Amino acid sequence: MNPKSLLKKICTKAIERIFGLEIDTIEIQKTKEEFEGDYTLVVFPLVKYLQQKPEQIASTIGNSLLEENEIIHTYNVVKGFLNITLQDKLFINFLNNNYSNPEFGIKKELGNKIMVEYSSPNTNKPIHLGHIRNNLLGYSISKILKAAGNEVITSQIINDRGIHICKSMLAWQKYGEGETPESSKLKGDHLVGKYYVIFDKEYQKQVNELVTKGYEKEEAKKKAPILLEAQEMLRKWEEGDTEIRELWHTMNHWVYQGFEMTYKQLGVSFDIIQYESNTYLLGKDIVEKGLEKGILLQKEDGSIWADLTEEGLDQKLLLRADGTSVYMTQDLGTAVERFAKYKLDQLIYTVGNEQDYHFQVLFLVLKKLGYTWADHMYHLSYGMVDLPSGKMKSREGTVVDADELMQEMIETAEQISIERGKLEEFTQEEKSKINESVGLGALKYYILKVDPKKRILFNPEESVEFNGNTGPFIQYTYARIQSILRKEQPQDTVNNDNKLNEVEKKLIIQLSYFPEAIEKSAHDLNPSIIANYVYEVVKEFNHLYQNYPILNSESIEQKHLRLELAQFTGQVIVLSLYLLGIESPNRM
> What is the DSSP code string of 395-464?
SSSSS-BHHHHHHHHHHHHHHHHHHHT-STTS-HHHHHHHHHHHHHHHHHHHHHTS-TTS-EE--HHHHT
Mean pLDDT in residue range 473-498: 93
Per the prediction, the chain carries an average pLDDT of 94
Q: Per-residue pLDDT tens for 227-236?
A: 999 999 999 9
Least confident of 35-39, 149-153, 248-252, 417-421: 417-421
Which has more pLDDT, 55 or 492?
55
With pLDDT > 90 as the criterion, what percentage of the chain qualifies? 85
Q: In angstroms, rounded to a whole number, what is the distance separating the alpha carbons of residues 285 and 282?
A: 7
Residues 588, 475: contact at Cβ < 8 Å?
yes
Q: Per-residue pLDDT tens for 354-412?
A: 999 999 999 999 999 999 999 999 999 999 998 776 544 444 445 788 999 999 999 99
Task: Supply the pTM of this predicted model.
Answer: 0.93
Q: In angstroms, rounded to a whole number, what is the distance separating the alpha carbons of residues 340 and 377?
A: 14
Residues 527, 140: contact at Cβ < 8 Å?
yes
The DSSP line for 6-65 is HHHHHHHHHHHHHH----S---EEEPPTTSS-SEEEE-HHHHHHH-S-HHHHHHHHHHHH
pLDDT recorded at residue 393: 44
With pLDDT > 70 as the criterion, what percentage of the chain qualifies? 98
Q: Per-residue pLDDT tens for 141-156?
A: 999 999 999 999 999 9
Mean pLDDT in residue range 495-522: 95
- Residue 114 one-letter amino acid: I
- Residue 94 one-letter amino acid: F
Phi, psi angle pair for 82, to nearest 5°: -100, 105
pLDDT band at residue 584 using 50, 70 and 90 as cut-offs:
very high
